[in-house]
């Protein structure tokens, strides 16, 4: 992971260089920090995720938190990665429904939208964090994109890798733009789902013939 230093928390404390967790204890601490961010974000939204509160809930020092996360946005983006990992696991346990690749991809994306709609404050916090220029956020966003690609790769297995990549890149842009519109109160999750389905139909159905 790229080292990032010099970020500040709400009290003005500088963050140390970011490192990847190594042993089991370090991974456990990182897990608790992410869980605390989930809890605060789900209850009260983006502004409630303050590093000092995360530290208190997770029982992890601020210095340790900043060893793993360069900023609040990086922490929330990492939480988004964990959320997508859980979705990936659920998709593996219950394969996508539908008779065609487009139907199946729509099913996966609709599941993701329903899961986000159930926790609107947390979802809005995650979307807001992903707009940050923090390099750690960009790394987490790339991880999320790879996870989505992994979920879709089996569905689009009959397409060549470049076509798969192009389709998923465009879908990623559509999803992000519609989520930003939702997070800013300009649309609802039904519209987000509908826009994603429209994009899937336009991008995937021509290849099904």
Question: What's the whole-number mean pLDDT along residues 78-91?
Answer: 86
Angle subtended at Cα 184 by Cα 179 and Cα 190, rounded to the nearest 5 degrees = 50
The token pair at 33 is 């920090």
Query: Does 119 have pLDDT greater than 60?
Result: yes
Round to whole Å and give the CA distance between 51 and 54: 5
Q: What pLDDT was estimated at residue 19? A: 59
Confidence of residue 93 (pLDDT cuts 50, 70, 90): confident
Q: What pLDDT was estimated at residue 57? A: 96
Query: Does 7 have pLDDT greater than 50?
Result: no
- Which range is least confidently modeled, 17-31, 95-109, 123-137, 170-184? 17-31
Average pLDDT score over the chain: 86
- Higher-pLDDT residue of 3, 77: 77
Q: What is the CATH number of domain 72-208?
A: 1.10.357.10
Q: First vs last Cα of the chain: how many Å apart?
A: 42
| Domain residue ranges in the chain | 72-208
């Amino acid at each position: 992971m790229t080292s990032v230093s010099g970020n500040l928390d709400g009290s003005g404390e500088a963050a140390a260089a970011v490192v990847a967790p190594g042993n089991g204890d370090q991974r456990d601490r990182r897990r608790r920090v992410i869980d605390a961010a989930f809890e605060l974000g789900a209850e009260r939204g983006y502004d409630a995720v303050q590093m000092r509160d995360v530290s208190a809930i997770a029982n992890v020092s601020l210095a340790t938190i900043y060893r793993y996360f360069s900023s609040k946005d990086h922490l929330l983006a990492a939480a988004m990665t964990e959320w997508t990992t859980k979705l990936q696991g659920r998709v593996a346990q219950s394969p996508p429904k539908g008779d065609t690749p487009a139907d199946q991809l729509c099913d996966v994306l609709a599941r993701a939208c329903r899961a986000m709609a159930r926790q609107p404050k947390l979802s809005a916090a995650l979307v807001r964090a992903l707009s940050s220029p923090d390099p750690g956020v960009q790394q987490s966003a790339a991880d999320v994109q790879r996870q989505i690609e992994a979920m879709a790769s089996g569905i689009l297995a009959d397409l060549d890798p470049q076509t798969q990549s192009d389709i998923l890149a465009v879908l990623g842009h559509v999803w992000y733009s519609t989520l930003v519109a939702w997070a800013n109160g300009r649309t609802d999750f039904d519209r987000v789902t509908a826009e994603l389905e429209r994009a899937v139909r336009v991008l995937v159905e021509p290849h099904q013939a």
